[in-house]
Structure 1
Amino acid sequence: MSLGREQDIEIRTPPRFMPGERVRATHHIKNDGTYPGKEIGENLVRKGDEGYVRDIGTFLQQFYIYAVEWVDRGTVVGMRARELMSLETARTPSSAEIGAGFNKGTAR
């Protein structure tokens, strides 16, 4: 029986971001009372801030929580995937590299 409040369970799929990945905040994030040393409602992260994913955890066995280090602020804040976007693009080899044999997969 469904209560109409079901959400997708993120942890059934791989995380969207990996440790060391550079990310940007897509929302303003305020303290909801879980960040020590800051007042409730105080801004922790501003939309457009850039940081690096340090670690990945889970919440309620449903959601990934990304510990993001905001270097310019000197803080680490737990963020949801919907609050972040990656600043790194997947590197694909150019046709010149493929032709030169850089992508043959041979060990040296």
Structure 2
Amino acid sequence: MAPNPGSATDRLDDEHYPAYTMGRAAEMLGATAGFLRSLDEVKLLVPQRSAGGHRRYSRYQLRLAARVRTLVDEGLGLDAACRIVILEDQLEEARRINAELNGRDRAAEPTTP
């Protein structure tokens, strides 16, 4: 039986599903809740909110936060670290799109016998 769209199985595979509470996210990152709140304040992360108003983070957001934490631990300021992470993320997305478009172009090219 195939899983229903939006089922628990789909959510487990979705890197953007807000599955982690602030406490769990901070524990996984080895950071404090204050660090995560600071990423929210500078708008690097915009966590989803539970019905009770609690922040919820996705795996994707935690990867960004982990990268910022590494850069801050290396001595960069929070604003600079966030800017670097944003640019790295944008570059990765542009490369993904470029590869996808190049694949489509190659598929559309006629083959010569």
Which TM class, normalised by the smaller chain length? under 0.3
Tell me which of the two structures has the higher relative contact order, counting C-alpha pairs closer than 8 angstroms and 6 or more residues apart: 1
TM-score, with normalisation over the residues of structure 2? 0.26
**Bigger fraction of residues in helix:** 2
**Bigger fraction of residues in strand:** 1
